[in-house]
Amino acid sequence: MKETVEFRIFKDYYHLLSKPNNAKYNGVVYVIEVEKEDPLYNEIGRLNKSVKEKYSEYFFGYYSIKRKYSKKELEGATLLHLKIKTTFEPAGEECGTMYDEVTACAICGANRKQINPLTLMKGSVPKKDIARTIAGEVVVSEKFAAAFKQRGLKGALLEPVVFKKGASNYYQLIASTEIELSHHTVVGGDPFDLGIEGGEALEFTVSGGYPVEFEKEVYKCPKGHTIGLNLLSEPYVLNSQLIGEYDFFASKQKIGVKRGLLRPEPIYFCSQAFRKMIEEEKLSGFEFEITHIE
């Protein structure tokens, strides 16, 4: 496996980075991709810390961790991390989907209960076989649903999606089986910030005199429901007999934050049979990484 990290460095601070480097200017920011063993990687971390301390700003505004596997590595994995490549909006809550917040954790907001069919806006769902809303609601195509059922795969519920206007041929994908993450799973704000502190509560007024309030954000729940803001490593899970019995899973612990429409979300996993279905049926929107079982 080869792992690199792409950073998008703000124009005002790019001059601080050592030259030469392979950064390319896209008209807004400088885009650079480095391996963790590259001295530039640690330099970017130091510069980000320095810019925060001196100017209360950021050296980079976006990062993406990329992992490339050989065919042998992917085929040899017992369990795979299923990554959903496409995100869209509006979220279900904006279209009539209702949630019972009483069941949610009062600290981190995880585990609220959906109490009616997922309702979305017609025309908003990307033309992929899987996608997720900004609130983490997972939608799959009719083609995916048919293939999953035909192959007798286990571990997922497929509930019909409702459109506000017009008929829908999409399904909401819900994991019926959970597995636990181990403490070796690395989470944090970014590759250089593994802290667990959330943002402070904010109150301000917008145009028209309307007050806006943001609760204090919680990245690590003391009850164990949410463990961090972002997943930074390959996932590590505790071994379970369920892994050999089912084909689709969600992590018991969540990643993310309660922020407006956003809620902490599970990590999704799948079997080799699930991955084989995706490849043979040529289903789109999926990406796979290796999951480690302990």
Measured between alpha carbons, how far apart are the two ends of the chain, in Å? 19
Cα 229 to the chain's mean position, in Å? 10
**Rounded CA Rg of the chain:** 21
Dihedral angle, C-alpha 99, 101, 105, 109, nearest 10 °: 70
pLDDT score, position 216: 80
Q: What is the pLDDT of residue 206?
A: 57
Question: 280: which 2 tokens?
Answer: 């043979």
Cis before 90? omega within 30: yes
Residue pair 254/198 in contact (Cβ under 8 Å)? The answer is no
pTM for the structure as a whole: 0.92
What pLDDT is stored for residue 165 in this prediction? Answer: 86
**Bridge-based pairing state of the strands 119-120 and 162-163:** parallel
Q: Which domains does the chain have, with CATH numbers?
A: 1-68 (3.30.70), 72-183+218-293 (no CATH)
- Residue 197: the pLDDT is 64
pLDDT at 291: 99
State the 10-residue block means of pLDDT for the chain, 294 residues long. 98 97 97 97 98 96 97 98 98 97 96 97 97 98 98 98 91 98 97 75 60 77 97 98 98 96 98 99 98 98
Q: What is the pLDDT of residue 250?
A: 99
